[in-house]
């Protein structure tokens, strides 16, 4: 598979924040939130931009054996096989056809080689590709649908069949990047209302990529939680490492 970066760390976002995790960032994405190199942000057409753009645009082909070797080098193979360390498939967009096919082949390889069915796979998706019924088994879906604050047009960021397939997964969560009250209004108008997403499955995530802005945006999200009832979750990796990636 074409991997931009992989590393052992801790899940910093979403409902499983704080869990030991091995991240596998796959190359490529079908969206460009904030525009390439934050062009749309600079033009005032978006309020945030993808903070991993520089990483997911690069990548190297890694074989199944090589990826297993990386787990071993990190001292995490047994923990991964036992589900104690989660595998986090991220990007870019891991549900793009090539990426999801590669994930499926890798998980089949692990099952055949180690006879292990206790892996805990989380996939982090933008919600524009439907889950395949015969595709890889993901124990958890972390869906981050894009709002108007991303600068992406509705026709590209809202794919009803994809959202519905994720809704049908028994352990799916919808995590939205938020920096202002209008973002919550967009959440309700574009997603919660049309797709009947339960309030309990919605997470507000501060639109921040640095310690300089994280406290202020987190306070905004907390106030919006008090007003609208949606859960706010922190960005622990920024709190711990600021802008550093791959840790």
- 66-111: pLDDT as tens digits: 999 999 999 999 999 999 999 999 999 999 999 999 999 999 999 9
What's the confidence (pLDDT) of residue 219?
98
In the predicted model, what is the mean pLDDT of residues 233-246?
Answer: 90
Distance from C-alpha of 55 to C-alpha of 91, rounded to nearest angstrom: 9
Sheet strand arrangement including 20-26? 60-61, 2-10, 20-26, 86-90, 121-125, 140-143, 172-178, 202-206, 231-232
Distance from C-alpha of 21 to C-alpha of 247, rounded to nearest angstrom: 11
Distance from C-alpha of 142 to C-alpha of 172, rounded to nearest angstrom: 6
- 5-41: pLDDT as tens digits: 999 999 999 999 999 999 999 999 998 788 787 788 7
- 136-166: pLDDT as tens digits: 999 999 999 999 988 889 999 999 999 999 9
Sorted by where each starts, the structural domains of the chain and their CATH numbers stand as 2-241 (3.20.20.70)
3-state secondary structure of 189: helix
pLDDT over 70 at 48, yes or no: no
User: Which of 113-117, 138-142, 168-172, 223-227 is least confident?
Assistant: 113-117
pLDDT over 70 at 215, yes or no: yes
Distance from C-alpha of 97 to C-alpha of 243, rounded to nearest angstrom: 30
Alpha-carbon distances, residue 89 vs 94, 104, 193 (angstroms): 6, 11, 28
In the predicted model, what is the mean pLDDT of residues 165-190?
Answer: 96
CB within 8 Å of 143: residues ≥ 6 apart: 125, 126, 127, 163, 166, 172, 173, 174, 175
Alpha-carbon distances, residue 148 vs 153, 190, 233 (angstroms): 7, 9, 21
What b/e string do you get for 124-154 counting C-beta neighbours within 10 Å, with b at 16 or more? Answer: bbbbbbbbeeebbebbbbbbbbbbbbbbbee
Helices (H), 2-62: 39-42, 53-56
In the predicted model, what is the mean pLDDT of residues 177-202?
Answer: 96
Distance from C-alpha of 178 to C-alpha of 207, rounded to nearest angstrom: 5
Distance from C-alpha of 156 to C-alpha of 99, rounded to nearest angstrom: 19
What's the confidence (pLDDT) of residue 221?
98
What's the confidence (pLDDT) of residue 46?
73
Q: Count Cβ atoms below 10 Å from residue 63 Cβ, excluding itself.
A: 11
Whole-number average pLDDT of the chain: 93
């Amino acid at each position: 598979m074409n991997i931009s970066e992989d590393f052992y760390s801790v899940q910093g976002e979403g409902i499983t924040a704080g869990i030991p995790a091995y991240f596998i960032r796959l190359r490529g994405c079908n969206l460009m939130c904030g525009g390439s190199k934050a062009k749309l942000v600079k033009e005032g057409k978006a309020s945030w931009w993808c903070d991993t753009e520089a990483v997911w645009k690069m990548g190297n082909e890694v074989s199944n054996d090589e990826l297993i070797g990386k787990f071993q080098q990190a001292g995490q193979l047994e923990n991964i096989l036992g589900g104690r360390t989660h595998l986090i498939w991220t990007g870019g967009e891991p549900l793009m056809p090539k990426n999801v096919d590669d994930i499926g082949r890798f998980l089949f390889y692990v099952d055949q080689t180690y006879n292990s069915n206790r892996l805990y796979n989380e996939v982090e998706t933008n919600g524009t590709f439907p889950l395949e019924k015969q595709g890889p088994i993901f124990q958890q879906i972390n869906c981050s649908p894009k709002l108007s604050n991303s600068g992406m047009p509705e026709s590209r960021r809202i794919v009803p069949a994809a959202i519905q397939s994720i809704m049908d997964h028994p352990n799916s969560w919808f995590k939205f990047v938020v920096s202002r009250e209008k973002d919550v209004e967009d959440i309700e108008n574009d997603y919660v209302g049309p797709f009947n997403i339960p309030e309990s499955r919605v997470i507000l995530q501060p639109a921040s990529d640095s310690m300089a802005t994280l406290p202020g945006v987190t306070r905004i999200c907390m106030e919006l939680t008090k007003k609208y009832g949606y859960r706010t979750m922190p960005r622990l990796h920024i709190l711990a490492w600021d802008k550093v990636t791959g840790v």
